Structure 1
């Protein structure tokens, strides 16, 4: 098991988990406002990402990723769906980026935003606009109303 987290120390190396960047799903959630913790422009964000999707994308990009069972402090809901924080190693011990494509925290988040819609788990889901109105309009036309009813 990994060593417990401690307070920041400049003596720590970039390879120590304490120095890895943190990413919460709320940072890239299009449903959130800036005040609720979104950190990426709304046009580039995705709807309700999960930590599993972010982990899959970053692992596929070859980055070192760690998952922690943490809740974002600005998150109102305490449900398990919103839990999860990712730690990502950006730099090696010399301070140089591990991957030149991702030198900053923002570049990592933008990459995640562009790749999550391409995941197979996101491809199979029908959107609510396509399936919603057709199902709700059918029962309303076939039901018979008897007037005002009993009071």
Structure 2
């Protein structure tokens, strides 16, 4: 594995923007918007690559050139030195993007986050209804 790690510069780069349904093709999305997922993070993409048993590494300090505020990317090894695929089900960069985009919405961190968010937004709405007048 160490020999592969030294060669990380040759691995495929995967920015979260590539599969973000909120972005346009001009902003950097690379797959169909209907197949893309909403605001994926590099950590979620990394977990999905681990799930597919692909060697991968997080580069959290790197930024997407067209949107440098978006930090983080994942490097993934699709093919070994001898040209054989690490995961026979994923033969190309596009295939990887489609598979990851399908998996991210079911990510354990994501399913837990959405439930409290919906209840807290209703709580905030009910609080804002009270006390319409300011005290002088």
1:67 maps onto 2:55 in alignment: no
Aligned equivalent of 1:100: 88
Cα deviation, 1:25-73, whole Å, max 9, x if unaligned, reads 1111111111110111111111111111111111121100012221000
Distance 1:137 1:25, change over 3 A: same
Which shifted more, 131-140 or 42-51? 131-140
Q: Secondary structure in 1 aligned to 2:114?
A: coil
Q: Which has the higher strand share?
A: 2
**What are the ranges of 5 or more consecutive residues in structure 1 without an aligned counterpart?**
3-12, 147-151
Distance 1:144 1:60, change over 3 A: closer
**TM-aligned CA deviation for residue 129 of structure 1:** 6.1
Cα deviation, 1:85-107, whole Å, max 9, x if unaligned, reads 21111112222322110000011
Give distance in 2, aligned partners of 1:85 and 1:143.
Answer: 45
* Runs of at least 4 residues off by over 4 Å: 127-131
Alignment of 1:35-74 (within 5 A): 35-68=26-59, 69-74=61-66
Q: Secondary structure in 2 aligned to 1:43?
A: coil
Q: What is the TM-score with the length of structure 2 in the denominator? A: 0.80
Bigger Rg, structure 1 or 2: 1
| Residue-pair matches, total | 131
Supply the RMSD in Å over aligned alpha carbons.
Answer: 2.7
Q: Secondary structure in 2 aligned to 1:71?
A: strand
Q: What is the TM-score with the length of structure 1 in the denominator? A: 0.73
Q: Which has the higher helix share?
A: 2
